[in-house]
Amino acid sequence: MATKERILQQLDELNRQLEIQGFWQTSAPSEEKLQSTLPFAVDTLTPTEWLQWIFLPRMQALLAQEDADIPAFSIAPYFEEALKGQAQAAPIIAVCQRLDDLVTPLEIVYRDEHYIAVNKPAGMLVHRSWLDSHETRFAVQTLRDQIGQHVYPVHRLDRPTSGVLLFGLSKEAASKMMPLFAEHQLTKTYHAVVRGWINEAAVLDYPLKVELDKIADKFASQEKEAQSAITHYRPLAHVEVPIATGRYATSRYCLVEMEPQTGRKHQLRRHMHHLSHHIIGDVNHGDGRHNRVFREHFNCHRLMLHASRLAFIHPFSGEPITIEAKVDETWLGVMRAFEWEPTLLSL
């Protein structure tokens, strides 16, 4: 199905859900309210009024044009926040997310007849999980719908981590790639912003205990041995900003490149925590004071950890393959604020 047809289908579904969930209004707002120029018209219209009286008719009029140029947009995050706590709004938010996916597709950074890789956005789950049953957006389903065929994940990235995510285009391709990850026969390069200054490159060999999930691993043994965990890291840039944290009048941060030699759960976050160079935005292993600095001063509300590069020998062709993914606008905003050149991330 063409993208235009899929969008029309979702607009019809949005119309239907507004009615089913009790948000549909039969009387139009006044002309004055409809002329609002602020985003989502929230100064005069409620969020669901905006969907019904502004978004739906404008999108339908646009798509009625023969050569419609469909703009990229992202409305789901706004409605997730605006309608938070309203259970009946969940189906509407789900439709908004599907619309976002259709007009802002995943960035494909590599593709051949066997494999495809995308630049996974921060905040997106790789696949559906009963632990996150309220989530509506997953890389597997989004990419499947985008390219019109099934994809098979061969590794994972944590939800808050962005960057290179590789899939097989067949079960056979996925099965041939998985051993490379399991046996660490490839190179994964990450970039992170951490608190404090790291002054020289080093290798951290620090075993990590298995990190159990409170729900999924409720009945698992709590006495498992720590597993070998090795991370290579090197500093790329430093900055000191006149923002107080604790007893210090300034705060120091560092841009770091890391290559995990092993693949333990949350290895990079836990290793940086061990070194007291917590990754910014890490709510589980990080430093809340510095996370707050980035939220309030740099509009950064994400984990500053990005999977920049994946390098391996192609299981079918035997050729060396290197896949790279660029950082997002939040990353670029932080780097501009710190006067760090984007070329520092060049690989």
Instruction: Choose between 99 and 213: higher pLDDT.
Output: 99
For the cut 50, the answer to whether the pLDDT of residue 130 exceeds it is no
Residue 124: the pLDDT is 87
CA-to-CA separations, 195 to 11, 188, 254, 268, 281, in angstroms, rounded = 45, 22, 6, 14, 10
What share of the chain has pLDDT > 90, as a percent?
61
Pick one of 1.20.120.550, 1.10.3080.10, 3.40.640.10, 1.20.1440.40 as the CATH number of 3-103.
Answer: 1.20.1440.40
Residue 36: the pLDDT is 58
Write out the DSSP string of 252-270.
EEEEEEEEESS--TTHHHH
pLDDT band at 105 (very low <50, low <70, confident <90, very high): confident
Among 99-103, 156-160, 288-292, 303-307, the least confident range:
99-103
Cα-trace Rg, the chain: 23
Looking at the chain, the number of H-run helices and the number of E-run strands are: 11, 10
Which conformational region is residue 339 in: left (phi greater than 0), alpha (psi within -120 to 50 degrees), or beta? left
CA-to-CA separations, 90 to 32, 42, 131, 150, in angstroms, rounded = 30, 20, 17, 26
- The CATH architecture one would assign to domain 107-345 is 2-Layer Sandwich (3.30)
Tokens of 117: 């890789």
CA-to-CA separations, 1 to 6, 8, 72, 97, 242, in angstroms, rounded = 7, 11, 19, 18, 54
Residue 231: the pLDDT is 98
Tokens of 96: 């908004």
Domain boundaries in the chain? 3-103, 107-345
Which positions are annotated as active-site residues?
158
For the cut 60, the answer to whether the pLDDT of residue 86 exceeds it is yes
> Do residues 258 and 203 lie in contact, with contact meaning Cβ atoms separated by under 8 Å?
no
